Amino acid sequence: MRTVDWDYQNQSLLLIDQRLLPGELRVAAYSDYHEVINAIQEMVVRGAPAIGVTAAFALALAAYRSSASHTTEMLRNLSIAGDELIAARPTAVNLKWAVARVLAKAHEAPGDLDQLRKLVLEEALRMADEDVAINQRMARHAAELIADGDTIIHHCNTGALAAVDWGTALGAIRMAHQQGKRIHVLVDETRPRLQGVRLTAWELQQYGISFDIIPDNAAGYYLSSGQAHKVFFGADRVAANGDVANKIGTYMLALAAQDNQVPVYCVAPTSTIDLSTAMGTLIPIEERPPNEVLNIQVDGKSVAPTGCTARNPAFDITPNRLISAIVTEKGVVYPPYPENLARNIGLIES
C-alpha cells in the first residue's frame, strides 16, 4: 500500500492518515487542493518525499476542479495553488521542488484545458513512481554502510510512511534486513508528536526487524556505552554546504554521536538537497502549535500545569561537521560537502 496514491475512478487523492497509526490504518480521500493543504499542515501526511508528491497531486486536483475557461487562467490558478502549498510547511524543500516541476510541465501544454489537466496528473503519477524507484536505489547505497550485527539509533520516521513507498533512512535499514544482515534498531520516541513510537515502531513490526523504543534523552547513554554503532536519519532540507534540517532532536543526537565517535548518516533524495540555500542557518524553521507539547498526557492526565506556554520548533539544523556521510539515490557523499553534493547532483563533472 502506498502512502500517497491516486483514485482514478473518483479523480481524488488518497492518503494514509498517519495521525491514527498505529491504532488504525485508514485511507482518507481528498478532492480539493485546499483540503490537501490542511492535511499537510495537520500531518495527515508527513515526511519530505511524501509531502512533495502530495503537492504534485494537489495541483492535479486544482487543475481538475478549476473552472478556468482558457489555459492562461488555468496556469494562473495553478501558480496560486502552488504558492499556497509551498507555504503549508516551509522547511521541507520537496514541496517547492514538486510544485516547480509540475508547473514547468503545465507550461508545456498546448492551448487545450483537457490536455493541460492530463499533463499535470501524468507528471504527478510519474513523480510517485519515481519516488519508489529512487528510494530503493538510495536504500541499496545506504545499506552498504550497515554491517551485520549493527545496532542503529534511528530518529523520527523515515520509512514507507514518509515517502510514497519504501522510505529513506528506514528504507536503508529495511534493505539491510532483507539482505540478511542481523540488525537491531533503537527507535527514538521523537517528541512531541512521537513519530518514532507511533510510526517507525509500527513499520519495523511489519518488516519483522528487531527493535526497542527508547526515550529521546536515552540516546546518549547507548552511544557512550558502546551499545549503538550507527545513527541514521533523513532530512527535510539539505543546504549546499551539507547542513541538514531535520526533525527536532537530530542535532543533539548527532552531537552525542560525534562525542562517542559513532558514524552519523543522513539518507535523503536529491530532491531534498537545496543548492540555492548556502547554509543551514538560512533554512526557515517551522514552529508548530504549542498544544502539541502542552496536551501530552500520562495515564489520561495532563502533564503540563494549567496556564503554561510552550515553544515547539518542528526542526533543527545539524551542521555538516557532525555528519559522516549523506546518501542519495546517486550514491554516498562524503565531505567536503559543498563540492561533493554538487557533483552528486550532476552540477559538477566528476
Q: Which residues contact 241 (CB under 8 A, 6 or more apart)?
A: 278, 279, 280, 320, 337, 338
- Report whether 280 contacts 243 (CB < 8 A): yes
Q: Across the chain, which distance is largest between two alpha carbons, in Å?
A: 66
Give the residue among 326, 321, 319, 322 at the shortest CA–CA distance from 340.
326
Which amino acid, one-letter code, is at 336?
Answer: P
Q: Which among 5, 131, 165, 236 is annotated as catalytic?
A: 236
Neighbours of 189 (CB within 10 A): 22
Report how far residue 262's alpha carbon sits from residue 286's, in angstroms, rounded to the nearest whole number.
29
Closest CA to 168 of 300, 3, 5, 288: 3
Annotated active-site residue 299? The verdict is no
N residues, the chain: 350
CA 133, distance to chain mean position in Å, is: 16
Nearest alpha carbon to residue 218 among 254, 195, 190, 188:
188
Active site residues: 236
